[in-house]
A = this chain, B = another copy of it.
Amino acid sequence: MPSSELSTKEPTPQHPQGGSARFRISTDLRYRISGPSAFIFNISVAGGAHQHLIEESITASSGGGIRECPSGEREKRHHRLSAEAGDLQVSYSATVQLSHEHCADTDLPEIPPADLPPDAIAYLYPSRYCESDKLARMAMKEFGNLQPGFSRVTGICNWIYENVEYLRGSTNPLTSAFDTATERAGVCRDFAHLGIAFCRALAIPARFVSGYAYGLEPCDFHAYFEAFLGGNWYIFDATRLAPATGFIRVGTGRDAADTSFATIYGPVEFQWMAIKVEHLDGPEPVHTTDAITMG
């Protein structure tokens, strides 16, 4: 059984910041393949000022070798693999040091569209799962009178938390924010999509983040969103299922369409997966009402 492995080792920073903590991630994906197939994985930890990848390893139990290739977009990494019929196991593990930046001043303002940096403008527009155009009146009715800025986005998350039921199996990969706004049930990606759609409908740039989360029960991939406030991207998670300071970023995009953890071409059947996130050292992540950024 051929095996391909890529390992990266970087020196651990000697003096991690006061607030930084280290985590260990292990991911195991199993597939059954019945003919020539191609995979694009987006499961490896992204880089960033506040997220430091100390060590990682990715292996595939079969196929022509798993290799990283540029993703065409910043803050997202792709591994590709071609494989023949048979069983496939893809294993990823990493050690990451996180130092999310807290901002106790939660008066962060909204930036008028005319003053947004060019990079943020793409996150104002509707996308596959975040039809902000169709949610414009609803967003104005529900959130139009709230204090603009951090507290308005917090208000959006509170509304979602209170009005949408977290219910495994209630949605599928076709479900979008427009559906969830009315059907009122979903999982983490649906919560994130709805938060993003409401923000964009109010002219607040918002983007989707897929990642790992310490403290999620049961452990799984997680999804949350970021809103652009006061010149930076801040993390929001309407599910309240895990502390934002334990989020580890994998993919960033307009919505889940941009950050699928595996895009597969060919006759492939997903078998199962296992994910583990351990806290190695540093402060234990806890829920906070501070604004949190990894921007």
Q: Give residues in A with beta carbon < 8 Å to B.
A: 38-40, 69-73, 78, 80-82, 112-114, 117-122, 124-128, 130-131, 133-135, 137-138, 141, 163, 165, 172-174, 178, 181-185, 203, 254, 257-258, 260, 263, 265
Contact = CB atoms under 8 A, between A and B. Distances in A.
A12 to B, nearest CB: 30
Nearest to A39: B114
A183 B257 contact: no
Given A118-B71, A118-B78, A174-B133, A263 B185 contact: no
Contacts of A141: 163, 184
A72 B119 contact: yes
Contact of A114 (B71, B82, B119, B182): B82
Given A69-B118, A80-B114, A126-B257, 18 more contacts: A38-B114, A40-B114, A70-B118, A72-B118, A72-B119, A82-B114, A113-B265, A125-B260, A128-B133, A133-B173, A133-B174, A133-B257, A134-B174, A134-B182, A135-B182, A138-B163, A141-B184, A181-B182
B72 A121 contact: yes
A78 B185 CA distance: 31
A112 B182 contact: no
A79 to B, nearest CB: 11
A183 B40 contact: no
A150 to B, nearest CB: 20
Contacts of A174: 131, 133-134
A125 B257 CA distance: 6
Number of identical monomers bound together in the oligomeric complex = 4
B80 A40 contact: no
A23 to B, nearest CB: 28
Contact of A125 (B128, B133, B183, B185): B128
Contacts of A165: 137
Given A126-B128, A133-B174, A174-B134, A121 B78 contact: yes
A70 B119 CA distance: 9
A184 B141 CA distance: 9
A197 to B, nearest CB: 10
A113 B266 CA distance: 10
A182 B182 contact: yes
Contacts of A181: 181-182
Contacts of A82: 114
A38 B138 contact: no
B70 A112 contact: no
Contacts of A173: 133
